[in-house]
Structure 1
Amino acid sequence: MAFYDEMAEMTLEMITEFGQPVIIRAFTVGEYDPDTGTAPPDSTKEQTAQGILLDFTGQEFQNNSLIKQGDKKLKIAAQGLAWVPDLLSKVIVRGRTWSIVPPLKEINPAATPILYELQVRS
């Protein structure tokens, strides 16, 4: 097993132990077909990930004007995800739904995803 694969596995183990399950929900809007004049129904897919929900620090507020009061930082283990969250995805933590706001950071050394760091807003 390569070094970064081991790091991804260790990250998942640590976040599983100290974090909590997080639901990632993605929506796909049915694309309109002009030939038939219809669109298929919208679809939703979900996956459960392991994450840690954190507050931003005072220093982060000073350095980043895009952070609003009430925003949180969500770190999600990349290993085992069926698909990658994007800015249109929603995350559900302890029954509360959060939107993902830019930036969405991927910790990905040597093309091995280890961790996703999201800024989320309720």
Structure 2
Amino acid sequence: MSEFYDRMAATALRLITQYGQAVTLRDVQPGEYDPDNPEGAEVILEQIAQGILLDFTGFEFQADTLIVRGDKKLKIAALGLDWKPKPMITAEIQGNTWTVINVKEVNPAGTPLIYELQVRS
């Protein structure tokens, strides 16, 4: 069964690459404490993902959710990512920076296919 989902993950990546765009995911983490530099050095993790930026539908706004006007849905392919996206990282798309609010993983049978991110500018 895993081979089937591995092929589905490859297909998702191929289609999102073909019809989507490159997205830079950036996770800024605080560095270790340094008494000589109390502000500390940040550790920045970056990776390029393939994604499709979409609007939320009216139905999604009607449900009791945390979606606010201006939020977008970013679907990214899971295959080939070095790390999973998480809330409070940023996604740079066509020169615009979006903050990830929520992450939903489509993961049948333990194989991540795509991540659906709620992003806010």
Shared fold by TM > 0.5?
yes
1:38 CA displacement: 5.7
Same amino acid, percent of matched pairs = 53
Residue segments in structure 2 that go unaligned for 5+ positions in a row: none
1:98 CA displacement: 0.3
- For residues 16 and 64 of structure 2, the distance between their equivalents in structure 1, rounded to whole angstroms, comes to 26
1:28 CA displacement: 1.1
The residue number in structure 2 matching 1:16 is: 17
1:64 CA displacement: 3.4
> Post-superposition, which runs of at least 4 consecutive aligned residues in structure 1 deviate over 2 A?
36-40
- For residues 64 and 81 of structure 2, the distance between their equivalents in structure 1, rounded to whole angstroms, comes to 29
1:11 CA displacement: 0.1
- For residues 64 and 76 of structure 1, the distance between their equivalents in structure 2, rounded to whole angstroms, comes to 24
The residue number in structure 2 matching 1:68 is: 68
1:45 CA displacement: 1.6
Does the alignment pair 1:110 with 2:109? yes
1:37 CA displacement: 7.2
Does the alignment pair 1:81 with 2:90? no
- For residues 110 and 120 of structure 1, the distance between their equivalents in structure 2, rounded to whole angstroms, comes to 26
- For residues 64 and 55 of structure 1, the distance between their equivalents in structure 2, rounded to whole angstroms, comes to 17
- For residues 22 and 65 of structure 2, the distance between their equivalents in structure 1, rounded to whole angstroms, comes to 29
Residue segments in structure 1 that go unaligned for 5+ positions in a row: none
Instruction: State the one-letter code of the partner of 1:51.
Output: G
Instruction: State the one-letter code of the partner of 1:48.
Output: I
* TM-score where L is the length of structure 2: 0.91
